[in-house]
Amino acid sequence: MQDALHVVKQAALTVVCAVALVLAALVPAAAGADVADPTGTDETPVLSLPSPIGPLTYTPGRGARFGDTRFTLGGYSNVNLTREHGAPALLSLDDLSFFAIWDPHPRVHFFSELEFEDLLQVDGHGRGGTNNWNFTAERLFGDFALTDQLAVRVGKFLTPVGRWNVIHAQPLVWTTSRPLATILPFDPHTTGAMLTGWAGAPGGTVTYAAYGQVVNQLDPSVEPQLAHRSAGARLEYTAWGAWSVGASYSTFSPDEPRRQPEPRWKNLIGLDTFVRRGPVELMGEFAYEKGQWGLYLQGVVEVLPRIFLVGRYEHYDQPAPLPPVDIGVAGLAWKPLPYLILKAEYLFSHHRAEESPPGFRSSVAVLF
């Protein structure tokens, strides 16, 4: 009974956080003369003000556009409420990210994501603070289109291994937790250059990417794998229907030369797939690196309008002497607005993984 009351309290606090975030997202609309339906999927601004540089507009989920400057400012925030097995409940403002986007030319695109992490943490006893917050440049790059089918990216970007890593922002994924196969085997960031392109194929399209890092990581964060030098490639086929398959390869050295005269190079291969049919969505990934490998399969079904049932199974063979881990995830997600998602889930596991411990998790994430 006591555990049930804890869960009810956690759910109630999540709803309160959700209301607060919704109000914060819609505050600019109160000052605008032109108010659009926020549940619409078009890009009609909810706020439009005249200015010497052109209309200043704000569209929830799309950000604020500054007249004719071709500059856009947006971002997302994420509030988590978790209770791991054997630990008190923890409320945290986990992410506050700002997107700065500038498109000075049809073939030139600049993007930056500046992120505050772990801004606030309060446990079930009211104890907490902001001593451990971090500020990082999550992404900082420029895209230069050479042709309509070929482009070069230079800077710090998300490593194109699998699917989850390149869409990992909380408003864009179905669960608060993240599969181990998308965290442990590789560095999620690359600082260097990447060539991307696409071509027509029978029944669909093929996209490809080749990238490398020959400089030190820009604003590195503490990760399970920190690549000092790396190279890789990705190939993906997308059918004209709603399914696709992809393959990834990455080779990297986690050691700096001054630490080891002959750096060790690690090789990773990955496979992934995505299928959507009506109200059902399936996504899965497999990653293998010598000494460790993992996979997950996740299913999502819309059981009621804008309410989704989520289930995931994942397995990860950790490096010795750590035991293999099997994790089951059962959860619900609610998208009352296109740019807002509320999630609650429970993780089951027979062995504990520090990066994804069993227990209750919930979150409220909003794009602004």
How many C-beta atoms lie closer than 10 Å to residue 79's C-beta? 25
What pairs with residue 99 in β-bridges? 74, 113
Q: Predicted confidence band at 28 (pLDDT cuts at 50, 70, 90)?
A: very low
Identify residue 308 by its one-letter amino acid code. Answer: F
Round the average pLDDT of the chain to a whole number and report it: 85
| b/e per residue 285-308 (b: at least 16 CB within 10 A) | bbbbbeebbbbbbbbbeeeeeeeb
* Cis amide linkage into residue 338, ω under 30° from 0: no
C-alpha 30, offset from chain centre: 30
Contact 327, 349 (CB under 8 A): yes
Residue 35: predicted pLDDT: 27
Q: Which one has a higher pLDDT value, 113 or 127?
A: 113
pLDDT for residue 218: 86
* pLDDT value, residue 293: 96
Domain 2-30+70-367 belongs in CATH node 3.40.50.2300: no
For residue 45, with 0-12 CB atoms within 10 Å meaning exposed, 13-18 middle and 19 or more buried, which class applies? Answer: buried
pLDDT of residue 11 exceeding 60, the answer is: no
**CB of 118 closer than 8 Å to CB of 132:** yes
- What local confidence, expressed as pLDDT, does residue 259 receive? 52
Q: What are 196-240's pLDDT values in tens digits? A: 999 999 999 999 999 999 998 887 766 656 788 999 999 999 998
Question: What pLDDT does residue 225 have?
Answer: 63
As given in the structure block, the two tokens for residue 71 are 């500059």
Q: Is the pTM of this model over 0.95?
A: no
Average of pLDDT values for 295-309? 98
Contact 309, 318 (CB under 8 A): no
Per DSSP, the three-state class of 177 is coil
Question: What sign for the dihedral angle of Cα 159, 160, 161, 166?
Answer: positive
Q: Does residue 330 carry a pLDDT above 70?
A: yes
Rounded Cα gap, residues 85 and 340, in angstroms: 28
Stretch 180-203: mean pLDDT = 94
User: If 0-12 CB within 10 Å is exposed, 13-18 middle and 19+ buried, where does residue 56 land?
Assistant: middle
Q: What percent of the chain has pLDDT over 90?
A: 67
Per-residue pLDDT band for 42 (boundaries 50, 70, 90) equals: low
pLDDT of residue 8 exceeding 70: no
For the record, the structure tokens of 156 come out as: 């710090």
Indicate whether 130 pLDDT > 80: no
More confident residue, 178 or 135: 178
**Cβ–Cβ contacts within 10 Å for residue 350, how many?**
11
Of 92-101, 123-132, 151-160, give the range with the top mean pLDDT: 151-160
| pLDDT score for 264 | 80
Higher pLDDT, 159 or 222: 159
Quick one: pLDDT band at residue 355, thresholds 50, 70, 90? confident
- Give the pair of three-digit tokens for residue 79: 């509030």
C-alpha 269/C-alpha 101 separation (Å) is 32
C-alpha to C-alpha distance for 62 and 123, rounded to whole angstroms? 33
Q: What is d(CA 42, CA 54) in angstroms, rounded to the nearest whole number?
A: 21
What's the pLDDT at 101? 98
Residue-level pLDDT at 7: 35
What is the average pLDDT across 335-354?
A: 93
pLDDT at 41: 43
Lowest mean pLDDT among 59-73, 82-96, 100-114, 218-232: 218-232
DSSP state of 167: G
- Annotated domain spans of the chain: 2-30+70-367
